[in-house]
Every structure is written in C-alpha cells, then in structure tokens.
Structure 1
C-alpha cells in the first residue's frame, strides 16, 4: 500500500509544540508577568504562526497551571499561588524520588560523569549569580536520572509541572540556599555510584523539598515577594 502523507500532520504538531515551549519559557523567565493578559492573535503574530496552535498551547499551559482562562472573556498568566506551588512541590519531590530509585540500577559511568559535570556548572552559575545558567544546569542534573529511569509517564509529569517551580525559583532565587543544593547533588551522585537506590532517592526527595523556604504567604494568603 502507498505510504500515507504525514507532512502536514507533523508540521502541525511541531507548530503546537513550538508555541507551547515559547510561551511557557516566556512565562517562566518573567517576560510574561503574573496577571498579564494574553491575546492569541498577538501571540500568533509574535510566533509567526496561525492562532490554532497558539490556542492549543494555551490550553496545555492551563492544564499545568501557568495560565488561567475564563472562556469568552480572558486568558491571563497565572498569579503566583503558594498553595499550588506547595502541591506541585510535593508531587515533584515524589516523582524525582521515584526517578532516582528506578534509575540507580541502570546508571552508567558516563551518566554519573554527566551528573557531576552538570552540578559543577550549577555551582559555577550560583557563584556568578547567573540564574538562567543555574536553572539550566539543575535541569540537566536531574534530567540524567529521569531519562535513565526509562519511565515515560514519570517523565511526562515532571515536564508538565517543573515550570511552576522554576518560575518561583527565578523570582526568588536569591532566597535559596544554593550551596546546600550543590551539596545535596553531590550526595545523590555518591549514593547513586554506590548503588544505594533507597538512599539516593531519599536524597533526591530532600533536594526538592528543600525549596520550602520559597513559598512564603502574606497575611492575605498570597505569595510574598
């Protein structure tokens, strides 16, 4: 039988993914501020594409808590909400704990070296007060175990909700004890190398739970800045 033509389908999927990642990154890095109104026509013009993939991207972003939509009225960048952030933090700590537990039996020397290299970049970025580099290298560090776990469901959940925490880390990065994170990363690597899946996974959980100091509420229940 002839091979079905799929170019159009692939093109649409790529447009939708590009729109999602571009808008997500702009929200996480603060280019699009909390409470800012999002217009799909303006976003489409910015991205150089039709409004359809933009609308699909906004629906996906709403699912991960980065935008809020009132049908027929508005779509805005989600306000910072400490309660939501705490809920996401709990889930992410559990997901990374599971990722490391599943990854440990499969980690190679090359992957352990990649974790060390990412943590070295993370430490250097903290010393240089380079928030972008710190977040990127932290993602690289944790991404080694997530990929090695070979668990696609776990990976999808982590990818969906990590931006919620990264957004807060960026805005309040100076309040984090970054050097403690470097030390926790080193501990995770040491335990992984020793084949201690339970110890390494517990250290990964503690690493993500150490973000608690970011989520401070004011007297009205809003995230303080």
Structure 2
C-alpha cells in the first residue's frame, strides 16, 4: 500500500475525526488507489496512532462508500461506482437544499459576507487550477447554510454521504466546467440576500446536481 512519505504525522492524542479526514483525503486524491489494500500496521506507521481510531475511521469510510471490508480477508479502497455516486449526489443535493431553506431566514449580513468571500476564493482557486483550495472554499461556502440551519442531523448525514462525491468534485474542480459553479454560488448569494429561502434551496440543489456525472 503506498502511503505518504511522512510518518507519525499525528500525535497519539489526535481526534478520531482527523484520522478519518487523513485516510479519506488520501483516497480522494488517489494516494490510496481503488482496490488498494488498507493494512492497519501501515496506517498506524503513517498516522502515528493506535489501531482503535484507525478501525473506527475505516468503519466510517465503509459507511461513506469509500472502502469495502471483505470479511476474513482485507479492507480495500472502494472502486469508483457511478450508480453509488449518483445516489449519494442526489441525497447530498437534497440535504443542501434543506439546509438553505432552513438557514436563509436566519442569515445575517456577516453570514452572507462569509459566503461572498468564500466564492471569491473559490473563483481565484479555479483560475489557478488549485484544486485543494477550491475544495476548501466550496466547503466554506456551503458550510454557512449547514451551520446556520442548526440541524445536527443534517451535519451527520452530510458527513456520511459527501465523501463519495469528493473524487468527482476533484475532477470537476480541475476543469474549466467548474467555473459555472462561481455563477451558481453568486445566484445563491443573491437569493439569500432577498430572503427567498425556497429559491435559494432550489439553486443549492441544482449546484450540487451540476457535478456532471455521466448518465444523468
């Protein structure tokens, strides 16, 4: 299993969420390729943590559709599966629509400014083909609705369903087509300023459905 060169990059006291994020990111960016066997000992050496948080992270990644546990054999990185990805996309789009509908009536001008600033960073990152920064800015943009909605179940469901889309987002954010999202974000901001929760929700849903999965 190929792992990044750095070893022991996390302290023993690292929160399990960071272990999850590290393995998830390595799967999404291709460091851990589809079909790759995930060995506890190698993950322990890379992350510098015990087996317990690693097993917990792998269970979460299995629920997210990024790894497959073969009973009595091994845990491997899940291959890309279009049907599963489309299913996840539909759920994620609906959840973000709900988040917007709940959040828009509660937004402050500061919240909208955060969205505007995130979209500016998103556009700049796309112009420089900086996929990592584009992903972070896009997350920051959509996180405003999720946070303001104050619905913890939304957050939990998105944590479970969003990771499988990361591989698609990474490909899209590295292409010219992603620039359509800048205008879509701007429209979401405009509708939010107007206080139109229904329209903002629909716009969010369309934004997530615009990832461009073949066969849709």
TM-score by shorter chain over 0.5: yes
Classify the secondary structure of the residue corresponding to 1:69.
strand
Deviation at 1:15, TM superposition (A): 4.2
Residue 73 of structure 1 is matched in structure 2 by: 73
Residue 19 of structure 1 is matched in structure 2 by: 19
Residue 154 of structure 1 is matched in structure 2 by: 154
Which has the larger Rg? 1
Deviations 1:97-127 (A, max 9, x none): 0000000011000000000000001111111
Range that drifts further, 44-53 or 138-147: 44-53
Deviations 1:31-53 (A, max 9, x none): 11111110011101111111122
Residue 105 of structure 2 is matched in structure 1 by: 105
Residue 52 of structure 1 is matched in structure 2 by: 52
Range that drifts further, 117-126 or 44-53: 44-53
What is the TM-score when the length of structure 1 is the normalising length? 0.86
Deviations 1:147-176 (A, max 9, x none): 010010011111222121112221354456
Aligned equivalents of 1:136, 1:180: Cα separation in 2: 17
Residue 7 of structure 1 is matched in structure 2 by: none
Residue 92 of structure 1 is matched in structure 2 by: 92
Aligned equivalents of 1:54, 1:164: Cα separation in 2: 19
Classify the secondary structure of the residue corresponding to 1:31.
coil
What is the TM-score when the length of structure 2 is the normalising length? 0.90
Cα distance change, pair 155–15 in 1 and its aligned pair in 2 (3 A): closer
Cα distance change, pair 81–196 in 1 and its aligned pair in 2 (3 A): same
Cα distance change, pair 177–66 in 1 and its aligned pair in 2 (3 A): same
Aligned equivalents of 1:179, 1:173: Cα separation in 2: 8
What number of residue pairs does the alignment pair up? 206
Deviations 1:177-213 (A, max 9, x none): 22211111000000001000011001001101111x2
Classify the secondary structure of the residue corresponding to 1:76.
strand
Classify the secondary structure of the residue corresponding to 2:33.
coil
Classify the secondary structure of the residue corresponding to 1:117.
helix
CA RMSD of superposed structures (Å): 1.9
Residue 34 of structure 2 is matched in structure 1 by: 34
Range that drifts further, 171-180 or 137-146: 171-180
Residue 166 of structure 1 is matched in structure 2 by: 166
Residue 222 of structure 1 is matched in structure 2 by: none
Aligned equivalents of 1:149, 1:157: Cα separation in 2: 14
